[in-house]
Chains A and B, each alone.
Chain A
Amino acid sequence: KNEVEQSPQNLTAQEGEFITINCSYSVGISALHWLQQHPGGGIVSLFMLSSGKKKHGRLIATINIQEKHSSLHITASHPRDSAVYICAVRRPGTSGSRLTFGEGTQLTVNP
């Protein structure tokens, strides 16, 4: 079983819709990252969370440490939001702070 599970694997939405992507993890963590991977392959860090909630523009990320669950929300979605969204966790005590990644969620927003 993967240590980091994302759902859904694929998501298609109409422009303007509210989108939620979920991430569950089965290990103790010191931080959780949400990343965006563009069609060309490049990876951009969106959020790093260790508790609570963060907001940046139309993006909101939340984490519930007790339930080992995080969500990424996109409000008023736009076709340019189309990308793969990846959840990754950092384990506590790992000397190099390596990240363990989920499989990613492919988001397609249609105009």
Chain B
Amino acid sequence: EPEVTQTPSHQVTQMGQEVILRCVPISNHLYFYWYRQILGQKVEFLVSFYNNEISEKSEIFDDQFSVERPDGSNFTLKIRSTKLEDSAMYFCASREGRSQHFGDGTRLSIL
């Protein structure tokens, strides 16, 4: 069965550095999402992306964040000038039809 794949599985970064989290959505899917889960908390929506542009973003998704689909397969989340509170699990999801498919997540640890 096709899967959403995310790399890396774990990223450790110094505070203030930039990180890029990568996702390969399912190939015929057109809608893409990033979600975040801080340890011990619920999953939160960050941003949705369709037709090469952001279709919706949450209040969390400020100027520190950006998303890009640089080629036909990858979907990236860039976090600039990382802060300690950016430490979380970041999930990518893709959708065609009504059901979203999630990747296994990238655990981001900011030191």
- Point out residues on A near B: beta carbons under 8 Å: 31, 33, 35, 40-45, 48, 86, 88, 94-104
B50's nearest neighbour on chain A, judged by CB, is A96
Point out the residues of chain A lying under 8 angstroms from B104, CB to CB.
40-43
B84 interfacial contact with A, CB 8 Å: no
Query: In the complex, which of the residues A86, A96, A102 contacts B56, with contact meaning CB atoms closer than 8 Å?
Result: A96
B101 interfacial contact with A, CB 8 Å: yes
| Bound complex: CA A32 to CA B37 (Å) | 19
> Which of A43, A48, A86, A104: most chain B CB closer than 10 A?
A43
A95's nearest neighbour on chain B, judged by CB, is B55
**Nearest 7 Cβ contacts at the A-B interface:** A96-B48, A96-B56, A42-B104, A96-B55, A43-B102, A101-B43, A98-B45
Interface footprint category on B: 20 to 34
Which B72-95 residues sit within 8 Å CB-CB of chain A? Answer: 89, 91, 95
Point out the residues of chain A lying under 8 angstroms from B42, CB to CB.
86, 101-104
B99 interfacial contact with A, CB 8 Å: yes
Q: For the complex, would chain B's binding face be called helix, strand, loop or mixed by DSSP majority?
A: strand
Point out the residues of chain B lying under 8 angstroms from A95, CB to CB.
48, 55-56
User: Is B105 a contact of A41 with CB atoms below 8 Å?
Assistant: yes
Contact A48 B99, CB 8 Å, known A41-B105, A88-B43, A99-B45:
yes
Point out the residues of chain B lying under 8 angstroms from A42, CB to CB.
102-105
User: Is B45 a contact of A43 with CB atoms below 8 Å?
Assistant: no
Point out the residues of chain B lying under 8 angstroms from A45, CB to CB.
99-102
Query: In the complex, which of the residues B55, B89, B100 contacts A99, with contact meaning CB atoms closer than 8 Å?
Result: B100
Point out the residues of chain B lying under 8 angstroms from A48, CB to CB.
98-99
A30's nearest neighbour on chain B, judged by CB, is B98
> Which of B43, B45, B56: most chain A CB closer than 10 A?
B43
User: Is A43 a contact of B91 with CB atoms below 8 Å?
Assistant: yes
Point out the residues of chain A lying under 8 angstroms from B43, CB to CB.
43, 86, 88, 99, 101
Q: Closest approach, in angstroms, between the C-beta of B41 and any C-beta of chain A?
A: 8
Q: Closest approach, in angstroms, between the C-beta of B47 and any C-beta of chain A?
A: 8
